[in-house]
Amino acid sequence: MYAQNVSTGTQGVRDADELSPEEAAFQARIDGNIKIEPKDWMPAAYRKTLIRQIGQHAHSEIVGQLPEGNWVTRAPTLERKAILLAKVQDEAGHGLYLYCAAETLGISRDELMNKLHSGEMKYSSIFNYPTLTWADMGAVGWLVDGAAIMNQVPLQRTSFGPYARAMVRICKEESFHQRQGYSIMMSMVSGTPAQKEMAQDALNRFWYPALMMFGPSDKDSVHSDQSMAWKIKMNTNDELRQRFVNETVPQAHYLGLTIPDDDLVWNEETGNYDFSQPDWEEFKAVLKGNGPCNRERLGARIKAWEGGEWFRDGLAAYAEKAAKRRVAA
């Protein structure tokens, strides 16, 4: 999940008789699956929560370019390089769709950028892990984009129109991301023993961080109930995590790789895999800014933003001048 631990600023879900007439009408629309559009009335907390969630989602797409951008110049073949470049470009596009959706709620692009750079807004914990070898490009596409798809497919039905429409567009493009990652893994495991080892090592390092993407366990996820009532969250964290494990384990078996979890076992009774939880203390530390790459990622973002300022200003100055010239002519 690209949005983790999004606060709703509320204390649980209120009963129907505690809602104002406006709030009740709003909730009735959501319950009837009628989309909420930017100009419609909405509770202030719904607006605020969505700005946080969509903003965090957008930031994740943009920051998510960095670990993969790291490998564009070092891809093993021209074809892989072109593919990786296309994927990284897609992530930029996904960020832009989402920023626009957030802006319809009354926050500006620059405010969003500033909040990312100041650390007030977060991005997904997963992008604070380093990409050390080429096999990591395989693991990221397969696991990270795979986990993102789990979360994004149901969000196509989310209650806020612009968010839902951005999700439809993103989901159409996301499947390529996962498949290209799996295709890298297939090449690695059919290569030399050293290459297969690299693939296993990448899986070992990305497995638990990928499980963390879905956010804390349901019992510790304090804002889930309100978000689900508003239909800005469609499934619980544990539901999606389970679904991801169930789908991914056979894919790892096909590759001949081992999931780094000694307690992983198929549970005949529940029809699910039983699996070990990630280290939630590590998750909290990464969210707080103390993951392996937090400083590097944010530093790269700020450098790009500040270093590009003269260029943005130059284009704006040219546009202004050209407009004046047109008026004069």
Partner 1 sequence: MANEWPLWEIFIRGQHGLNHRHVGSLHAPDAEMAINNARDVYTRRKEGVSIWVARSTEITASTPSDKGPMFDPAEDKIYRHPTFYNIPDEVGNM
Site residues (CB under 8 A) for partner 1, limited to 147-206: 165-166, 169, 173
Cβ distance 264 to 249 under 8 Å?
yes
Q: Which residues pair with 266 in a beta bridge?
A: 273
- Which of 14, 74, 109, 324 is in the footprint of partner 1 by CB under 8 A? 109
**Which whole-number Å values give the CA distances from 125 to 147, 151, 215, in the listed order?**
13, 15, 9
- At 176, phi and psi to the nearest 5? -60, -40
Kindly state the smallest distance separating residue 313's Cβ from partner 1, in Å: 6
Kindly state the smallest distance separating residue 108's Cβ from partner 1, in Å: 6
- Which of 97, 129, 134, 207 is in the footprint of partner 1 by CB under 8 A? 97
Cβ distance 6 to 223 under 8 Å?
yes
Kindly state the smallest distance separating residue 302's Cβ from partner 1, in Å: 14
316 binds partner 1 (CB under 8 A): yes
Site residues (CB under 8 A) for partner 1, limited to 239-298: none
Complex with partner 1: residue 16 or 25, whichever CB lies closer:
25
Query: What distance in Å separates the CA atoms of residue 111 and residue 139, rounded to the nearest whole number?
Result: 33
Kindly state the smallest distance separating residue 160's Cβ from partner 1, in Å: 14
Complex with partner 1: residue 81 or 169, whichever CB lies closer:
169
Site residues (CB under 8 A) for partner 1, limited to 19-58: 37, 39-40
Site residues (CB under 8 A) for partner 1, limited to 65-94: 86, 89-90, 93
Judged on CB neighbours under 10 Å (0-12, 13-18, 19+), 108 is exposed
- Which of 19, 96, 222, 302 is in the footprint of partner 1 by CB under 8 A? 96
- Which of 44, 194, 322, 327 is in the footprint of partner 1 by CB under 8 A? 322
Kindly state the smallest distance separating residue 99's Cβ from partner 1, in Å: 9
Mode of pairing for the β-strands spanning 265-267 and 272-274: antiparallel
- Tokens in use for 235? 């499934």
- From the list 8-16, 20-28, 100-108, 125-133, the region that binds partner 1 by CB under 8 A is 100-108
Complex with partner 1: residue 16 or 315, whichever CB lies closer:
315
Query: What distance in Å separates the CA atoms of residue 141 and residue 173, rounded to the nearest whole number?
Result: 13
- From the list 57-65, 68-76, 105-113, 228-236, the region that binds partner 1 by CB under 8 A is 105-113
Compute the C-alpha angle 100/105/109, nearest 5°.
Answer: 45
Kindly state the smallest distance separating residue 170's Cβ from partner 1, in Å: 12
Helix (H) or strand (E) segment spanning residue 147? helix 145-155
- Which of 24, 82, 132, 315 is in the footprint of partner 1 by CB under 8 A? 315
DSSP 18-80: GS-HHHHHHHHHHHTTPPB-TTS---HHHHHHHHHHHHHHHHHHHHTHHHHHTTGGG-SSHHH
- Which of 68, 91, 103, 145 is in the footprint of partner 1 by CB under 8 A? 103
Measured torsion, CA atoms of residues 215, 135, 293, 210, in degrees rounded to the nearest 10 = 0
Name the residues that contact partner 1, by CB under 8 A: 37, 39-40, 86, 89-90, 93, 96-97, 100, 103, 108-110, 165-166, 169, 173, 309, 312-313, 315-316, 318-319, 322-323
